[in-house]
Amino acid sequence: MRQTQILGEYLALDDAGYLCRRCGHRFCGRDDLWKRHARFRESPCREDVLGAPVSPREDGAVVFRQFFCPGCLTEVDNEVALAGSPLRWSFRPPERPTDGGRA
Ligand SMILES: [Zn+2]
């Protein structure tokens, strides 16, 4: 049996999938994107949201995404992304099979 991998302050991965290190909530299996199973908040990238200076952009389409554990509401991860872009695969297991892998 594989050991639990610590992926972040509040996120871990074991044989069954992704889980919260604080409350043990299970987000999903290893092959799914855990962020889809988290509570999610998306805010405009503004100085009052980020608490840091933000350079204005012509398109204004950058968002700040936060992902919370549904069990304990801890913020597990966040990302800055273009509005409408797919969620990032952060903490993807390196051994995850690729599409159309070996026969
Ligand atoms: Zn939790």
How far does the centroid of ligand 1 lie from the alpha carbon of residue 36, in Å? 15
Report the 10 Å Cβ neighbour count for 66.
16
How many angstroms is it from 100 CA to the middle of ligand 1? Answer: 34
Q: For residue 71, what are its two tokens?
A: 């069990």
Taking the C-alpha atoms of residue 13 and residue 60, their distance in angstroms, rounded to an integer, is 35
**Other beta carbons less than 10 A from residue 19's beta carbon:** 22
Structural tokens at position 68: 């919370």
pLDDT band at 100; cut points 50, 70, 90: very low
The pLDDT confidence band at residue 103, using thresholds 50, 70 and 90, is very low
Sorted by where each begins, the domain ranges of the chain are 5-82
For residue 46, the model assigns a pLDDT of 79
pLDDT of residue 3: 83
Query: pLDDT for 15-35, tens place per residue?
Result: 999 999 999 999 999 999 999
Write the pLDDT tens digit of every residue in 47-69. 887 788 877 777 657 899 999 99
Distance CA 67, CA 34 (A): 9
Whole-angstrom Cα distance, residue 96 to residue 90? 13
75 CA from centroid of ligand 1 (Å): 9
What is each CA distance from 18 to 34, 43, 54, 72, 98, in whole angstroms? Answer: 7, 25, 32, 15, 18
Q: How far is the CA of 7 from the centre of ligand 1 (A)?
A: 14
Task: Tokens for 90, please give them.
Answer: 């952060």
